[in-house]
Amino acid sequence: MKLSKIALRNINRNKRRSLLSGSAIAVAAASIIFLFALLDGMETDLADNIQTFYTGTIRIIHSDFEKNKKINPMHLTVKDPDKIIEITKRINPDIQVSERISFPARIYIGSRYFNAMGMGVRFPDEIGFQKIEDVIVEGRFPETGREVLLGARLADKMGVKTGDKITALSATAGRGSNAMTFTVTGLAVFPLLEFTNSVFMIPLETGQDFLKMKTDVKELLLKYKASSDQDAAALIDRLRNETEKNGIKNIDISYWKDINDTYSMIAMAEKMYMIMAFFFLLLGCSVIINTTMMVIYERTKEIGMMKALGMKNSDVVKLFFLESFYIGIAASAAGVIFGVIISQILHHTGINFQNMMEDMDFEMSTVLYPVVTLTSVVTIFLYSVIIASISTFIPTLRATGINTVDALKHN
Amino acid sequence: MIFLIKLSLKNLARYRKRTAITSLSIAVGLAFYIFLDSMIIGSVYDSEKNLFMYETGHGVIQTEEYWKEKDLLPLEYSIKNSSEITAILDKLGVPYAERTNFSADMIVYKDPYPEDGNLPVKVTAIDYKNDSNVFGIGETLEKGRFPQNEEEGIVIGAWLAEDIGADIGYPVTLVTRTKSGYYQVIDLEITGIINTTNPVVNREALLIPRGIAEIYLEMEGSITDINLKFNGSRNNSKIISLLRKELSGTGCSFHTWQEMVPDFVIASEGDMKGSGVMLIIIFIIVAVGISNTMLMAIFERVHEIGMMRALGMKDLSVKWLFRIEAAGIGLLGSSAGVLLGVFINIPLIIYGIDYSKMMREGNYGYRMIGIMRGMWHAEAFITAFFAGILLSFLVSFIPTRRALKKDIPSCIRD
């Protein structure tokens, strides 16, 4: 009789034992799937927020801005942004472009003033770029002139509502000071708490007028789905060549992962994730090994019986390996499916971390959505099956090493 | 009972491998919990030390109006009767430091700075001698000196200096408003750079002499904060309640350090909750392992159970036999877990995990500048130890009930 048939029969014969050993594998697999989904969700969210709100996939700024960014050198602007956009679109018409001017400002309400972060943007472009329509919770986005969209918590702090007027003061590109009064047309809740707490958005032209920037912008953010880091590097090289050919000087074109403080943060967070993932894999491993090994130790007598009936040692090892392999496949599949279902439900409902993120400079959304990736599903499935199957070797080899009479006597 | 314990121990010894394997999974789970807890507690301990030393002291006295709007640093609500308050503190024997915080726009110009620019800042006016009653800023000077009381000098944090390209002797212009609300420009020269172990201070600190604030902000002898340091315990409840009583009617109130730094409290509490969730997940995984072991032990020994019952052992005693056996596995697992926890905690305490790059870039609530180090936390070891035993004991309840479902003859026949 084929060993695989005997293995299947053994599994069937002692359903309870098979179920027990399977359940350990399934629980371990489901827990790890969920944990990985949470970690992947965090990473995707971080990467998405950084690209949407801070750097784009590729960022173009004045070449001296980055090293002086802490002192907000408003005069270090990107000149002739239209020309750069034209070049970009010529290279790849699908690239989304966001022209932005972000600047620190103070908003005056009576005798009080509030520190805030102003942002001049082209609202129609931001519909595609940061899905601005989805974040507006009241009113509408500014269309022209002196209209402003406020972060909802900033508005709340200032006691301002839609229709009210606010006055903002900021340093201009010419190193002077300028104040401008805006009418609040809408309130927004951004995925990032920092934005909801401190950002006000005005039309780009109004920002240029306010900060005396003529037609310049502070930065151009380009967003597109880079198939790989090399693909992005190639695009950046082309952009650099083309802009240089067209006489555009003093600009820095960078890939988001190469911008100092953003990607290093993800790398740091990943370090933490890896430690946690490692422990969970280890824990899952110990439970799977524990159950599998125990099942076999309990069956030393059976091994003795098989050997007495003439079965070769290698066949006994194979038989137990196959049993565990089949249970491993079924249990891992069940565990992975269960883990995926839980993660998918939470992917739709989200997990709210707002309370934990108050006042933190963390580019993570307040609501996190676990993401199940094919890689983690396949990896964890294989991991569970392999661990369950391999862990049969030690006890089986030992059991087959005992002489038949002793094995038969084993309790 | 002694008989049952003896029998359980005999059984554990008889099935040595099974006992060892199950204990191992409990041990790994508990060691992970100890590791996580050590990291969080270590970070919280370091952060608290750095908060007390450089940022908050053990608490602050402010006027009630000021506290309500403290984020806006409203000078008009400063403490006018500070001598009345300090007399109370002297009477109670509580060391204090008087400070004035105000917001300003800091303007720097190209040459000597690398670029023109400005940034919104929070400035703290201190009396350097009085400040050392509570804070440890005095010992953190990396370069230069502290200015005299009415000297137009400023001391800045080391990271801030690095970020804006500042050095000793560089000029700084602060644009602010006086206590009465008029615009004021203060030109100062950097006389010193401090480097503390608190990232917020390193990134943001701008310290000027109290005498300068008095003149330029027209403070008329008032201050915004009186920071306190309690002898002995940081949350000295006896002194706090006495202080609160004495302060009633003065228009001022006392606030603990926790109320002053909600970002830190939220971050640390969030992480504690997170580790709690981790512990639950760990326990679920471990519980499956233990219950499997117990079920297996019971099913393999149905015959034995039948025999014991036939010889007159009560059902309750059989149940307790397995429960004690499970608790024994728990005890072994917990002991191994605690031991493993000690071993993985040692490198975490000696070397730690390097988060300096992350801490340099942004505020994550914690006040430590780089290496996240673990800490010996007896409570976690004790919790892990007893939780392991209790979990094992409780998990055994379900399988033992199943063991007694069958009648005696069919048990023996099994």
Q: Is residue A24 predicted with pLDDT exceeding 90?
A: no
Q: Are A100 and A205 in contact (CB under 8 A)?
A: no
Q: Is residue A286 predicted with pLDDT exceeding 80?
A: no
**pLDDT in the model for residue A267:** 66
**pLDDT in the model for residue A83:** 93
Residue of A nearest to B21 (CA): A290
pLDDT tens digits along B353-403: 777 766 776 666 677 776 778 888 888 889 888 988 888 888 777 777 766
At A200, the pLDDT band (50, 70, 90 cuts) reads very high
Q: Enumerate residues 6+ apart whose C-beta is below 8 A from B395.
A: B287, B290, B291, B294, B326
Amino acid in position A169:
L
pLDDT tens digits along A118-147: 999 999 888 888 888 888 999 998 987 899
pLDDT tens digits along A70-90: 888 888 999 989 999 999 999
Q: Do B32 and A265 touch (CB under 8 A)?
A: no
Residues of B in contact with A175 (CB under 8 A): 116
Reduced to 3 DSSP states, what percent helix, strand and coil does chain A have, rounded to the nearest 5?
A: 60, 20, 25
The H-or-E segment that residue B98 falls in is strand B96-108
**pLDDT in the model for residue A256:** 86
Best interface-test mutation with B: which of A290, A338, A362, A396 has the largest number of B CBs within 10 A?
Answer: A290
At B231, the pLDDT band (50, 70, 90 cuts) reads confident
DSSP for B365-390, please give it: S----SEE-----HHHHHHHHHHHHH
Any idea what the Cα angle at residue A201 is, between residues A196 and A202, rounded to 5°? 165
pLDDT tens digits along B95-121: 999 999 999 989 998 888 988 888 889
Return d(Cα B180, Cα B230) in angstroms, integer: 34
Of B29, B107, B288, the CB nearest to A24: B288
Residue of A nearest to B291 (CA): A20
- What six digits make up the tokens of B24? 């191992």
Least confident window among A308-312, B187-191, B221-225, B226-230: A308-312
Q: Provide the percentage of residues in chain A whose pLDDT is more than 90.
A: 33
Count the alpha carbons within 13 Å of B213 in the hemisphere toward its beta carbon: 27
Q: Is residue A97 predicted with pLDDT exceeding 70?
A: yes
Average pLDDT (B152-178) is 93
Buried b (16+ CB within 10 A) or exposed e, A357-396: bbbbbbbbbbebbbbbeeebbeebbebbbebbbbbbbebb
- What six digits make up the tokens of B338? 């605690």
- A96, A199, A298 from A145: Cα distances, Å: 24, 18, 81
**pLDDT in the model for residue A1:** 60
At A319, the pLDDT band (50, 70, 90 cuts) reads confident
Highest mean pLDDT, choosing among A107-111, B21-25, B55-59: B55-59
pLDDT tens digits along A144-169: 789 999 999 999 989 999 999 999 99
Residue of B nearest to A107 (CA): B72
Q: Which residue has the higher pLDDT, B34 or A395?
A: B34
At A266, the pLDDT band (50, 70, 90 cuts) reads low
Highest mean pLDDT, choosing among B180-189, B280-289, B342-351: B180-189
- Is the backbone of residue A159 left (phi > 0), alpha (psi -120 to 50) or beta? left
Q: Do B25 and A360 touch (CB under 8 A)?
A: no
**pLDDT in the model for residue B207:** 95
How would you class A237 by CB atoms within 10 Å of its CB: exposed for 0-12, middle for 13-18, buried for 19 or more?
exposed
**pLDDT in the model for residue B233:** 67
Q: Are A180 and A168 in contact (CB under 8 A)?
A: yes
Highest mean pLDDT, choosing among A259-273, B5-19, B326-340: B326-340
- Considering the entire predicted model, what is its pTM? 0.76
Residue of A nearest to B268 (CA): A356
- Is the backbone of residue A367 left (phi > 0), alpha (psi -120 to 50) or beta? beta
Of A335, A322, A333, which is closest to residue A287 (Cα–Cα)?
Answer: A335
DSSP for A160-181, please give it: --TT-EEEEEEE-TTS-EEEEE
Q: Do B299 and A16 touch (CB under 8 A)?
A: yes
Q: Do B288 and A261 touch (CB under 8 A)?
A: no
Tell me the ipTM for this assembly. Answer: 0.71
Return d(Cα A235, Cα B185) in angstroms, integer: 48
Q: Do A297 and B163 touch (CB under 8 A)?
A: no
pLDDT tens digits along A326-345: 888 998 999 999 999 999 99
Best interface-test mutation with A: which of B22, B178, B292 has the largest number of A CBs within 10 A?
Answer: B292
Residues of A in contact with B367 (CB under 8 A): none
Any idea what the Cα angle at residue B150 is, between residues B149 and B153, rounded to 5°? 85
**pLDDT in the model for residue A166:** 92
Of A143, A154, A181, A189, which is closest to residue A165 (Cα–Cα)?
Answer: A181
Q: Do A283 and B286 touch (CB under 8 A)?
A: yes
Q: Is residue A262 predicted with pLDDT exceeding 70?
A: no
Q: Is residue A287 predicted with pLDDT exceeding 60?
A: yes
**pLDDT in the model for residue B402:** 67
- Preceding peptide of B95 cis, ω within 30°: no
Q: Which residue has the higher pLDDT, B172 or B305?
A: B172
Return d(Cα B77, Cα B62) in angstroms, integer: 9
**pLDDT in the model for residue B362:** 66
- A30, A265, B42, B172 from B352: Cα distances, Å: 31, 18, 10, 38
Best interface-test mutation with B: which of A27, A33, A108, A287 has the largest number of B CBs within 10 A?
Answer: A287
Least confident window among A285-299, B312-326, B329-343, B345-359: A285-299
Residues of B in contact with A20 (CB under 8 A): 292, 295-296
Average pLDDT (B160-183) is 92
Q: Do A356 and B270 touch (CB under 8 A)?
A: yes
Residue B311: DSSP 8-state: T
Best interface-test mutation with B: which of A250, A259, A268 has the largest number of B CBs within 10 A?
Answer: A268
Q: Do A290 and B118 touch (CB under 8 A)?
A: no
Q: Provide the percentage of residues in chain A whose pLDDT is more than 70.
A: 87
Cα torsion A37, A39, A42, A46: sign: negative
- A21, A274, A346, B288 from A26: Cα distances, Å: 9, 22, 19, 10
Taking all residues of chain B, what is their mean pLDDT, rounded to a whole number? 85
pLDDT tens digits along A201-235: 999 999 999 999 999 999 999 988 877 888 889 99
**pLDDT in the model for residue B87:** 92
Q: Is residue B413 predicted with pLDDT exceeding 70?
A: no
How would you class A245 by CB atoms within 10 Å of its CB: exposed for 0-12, middle for 13-18, buried for 19 or more?
exposed
**pLDDT in the model for residue A360:** 58
Q: Do B358 and A268 touch (CB under 8 A)?
A: yes
Q: Which residue has the higher pLDDT, A256 or A366?
A: A256
Of A75, A111, A295, the CB nearest to B181: A111
Q: Do B292 and A24 touch (CB under 8 A)?
A: yes
Average pLDDT (B50-76) is 90
- A317, B313, B396 from B401: Cα distances, Å: 35, 15, 9
Any idea what the Cα angle at residue A151 is, between residues A111 and A270, rounded to 5°? 125
What's the start-to-end Cα distance of chain B, in Å?
28
- What six digits make up the tokens of B399? 């399988």
Question: Angle at which helices A15-49 and A3-13 pack, to 10 degrees?
Answer: 100
- What six digits make up the tokens of B169? 């002797």
Residues of B in contact with A362 (CB under 8 A): 362, 364
Average pLDDT (B326-351) is 89
Q: Which residue has the higher pLDDT, A399 or A157?
A: A157
Tokens 């004790």, residue?
A: B382
Beta bridge partners of B98: B226
**pLDDT in the model for residue A6:** 84
Residue of A nearest to B163 (CA): A70
Average pLDDT (A20-46) is 82
At B124, the pLDDT band (50, 70, 90 cuts) reads very high
Q: Which residue has the higher pLDDT, B369 or B42?
A: B42
Residues of A in contact with B163 (CB under 8 A): 70-71
Taking one residue from A and the other from B, the number of pairs with CB-CB distance under 8 angstroms is 167
**pLDDT in the model for residue A264:** 63
Query: How close, in Å, is residue B113 to chain A by CA atoms?
Result: 10
**pLDDT in the model for residue A260:** 59
How would you class B231 by CB atoms within 10 Å of its CB: exposed for 0-12, middle for 13-18, buried for 19 or more?
exposed
Average pLDDT (A392-401) is 74
Return d(Cα A149, Cα A187) in angstroms, integer: 6
